[in-house]
A and B are shown apart, each in its own frame.
Chain A
Amino acid sequence: DTGVSQNPRHKITKRGQNVTFRCDPISEHNRLYWYRQTLGQGPEFLTYFQNEAQLEKSRLLSDRFSAERPKGSFSTLEIQRTEQGDSAMYLCASSLVTIEKLFFGSGTQLSVL
């Protein structure tokens, strides 16, 4: 399967704990995006990378959130000191620079208790 892969699929955590999600993009894609989606809403942009450089960050990405893409391959999204409001589906997508058609992974569903 050469699609976008996200792990884990589901994560349940207690408030105040740290969590980390991983995204493996389509191998030849140089852009990688993170979005967050709550029930009944469209996804909201969090951040994106071009190769290893983080080029854009939403104001939604508070200082408890950090994303990395070492070596321009996979990416991780970490949430520190989770809050119940962080409960959402976290979606990763990738694309080529030349053709900005996004391919999404299946997402990581986070539940903060």
Chain B
Amino acid sequence: KQEVTQIPAALSVPEGENLVLNCSFTDSAIYNLQWFRQDPGKGLTSLLLIQSSQREQTSGRLNASLDKSSGRSTLYIAASQPGDSATYLCAVIRSGSARQLTFGSGTQLTVLP
């Protein structure tokens, strides 16, 4: 059974700092990995999707990497802003016919002005 873990559970940083969020998964046979952002009481917003054959994806100040062999992904946020404050979730789809995403519990990020 696939398990996804995100460390730390919560993180507080001053504005302008670069930061890294971590995600690990137990089964390396994945189809893709996705990073999402969730604001309190809201749905999820897709940030980046990395296919199993890819090593990283970038969008603006965000960069996500994937190392399947070690079962790890990182989300790098450059020059953090208070508007980046949210919960960040990673999720994986395993290879095969099943299409369900397995989520981690998220990292709650607070960027202090």
Instruction: Write the residues of chain A forming the contact surface with B, with a CB cutoff of 8 angstroms.
Output: 4, 6, 31, 33, 35, 40-45, 48, 55-56, 58, 91, 93, 100-107, 109
B44 x A41 contact (CB < 8 A) = no
The reply to whether the CB of B45 lies closer than 8 angstroms to some CB of chain A is: yes
B100 x A102 contact (CB < 8 A) = no
The reply to whether the CB of B109 lies closer than 8 angstroms to some CB of chain A is: no
A100 x B99 contact (CB < 8 A) = yes
A102 x B46 contact (CB < 8 A) = yes
B43 x A45 contact (CB < 8 A) = no
The reply to whether the CB of B61 lies closer than 8 angstroms to some CB of chain A is: no
Counting from the closest, the 5 A-B pairs by CB-CB distance are A42-B103, A45-B100, A104-B43, A104-B44, A106-B43
The interface residues of chain B, by DSSP majority, are classed as strand
Specify which of B31, B43, B89 is in contact with A42 (CB 8 Å cutoff).
Answer: B89
Write the chain B residue with the least CB distance to A106.
B43
Q: Which of B57-113 contact A (CB under 8 A)?
A: 89, 91, 93, 98-106
What is the CA–CA distance of A28 and B100 in the complex, to the nearest angstrom? 20
B105 x A40 contact (CB < 8 A) = yes
Please tell me the number of chain B residues within 8 Å of chain A, measured between CB atoms: 24
What is the CA–CA distance of A48 and B97 in the complex, to the nearest angstrom? 12
* Chain B residues near A104 (CB-CB < 8 A): 36, 43-46
A101 x B99 contact (CB < 8 A) = no
What is the CA–CA distance of A86 and B99 in the complex, to the nearest angstrom? 24
* Chain A residues near B44 (CB-CB < 8 A): 43, 91, 93, 102, 104
Q: Name 16 interchain pairs, CB-CB below 8 A, sorted by A.
A: A4-B43, A33-B99, A40-B105, A42-B106, A45-B100, A56-B100, A100-B32, A100-B93, A100-B99, A101-B34, A101-B49, A103-B46, A104-B43, A104-B45, A104-B46, A107-B42
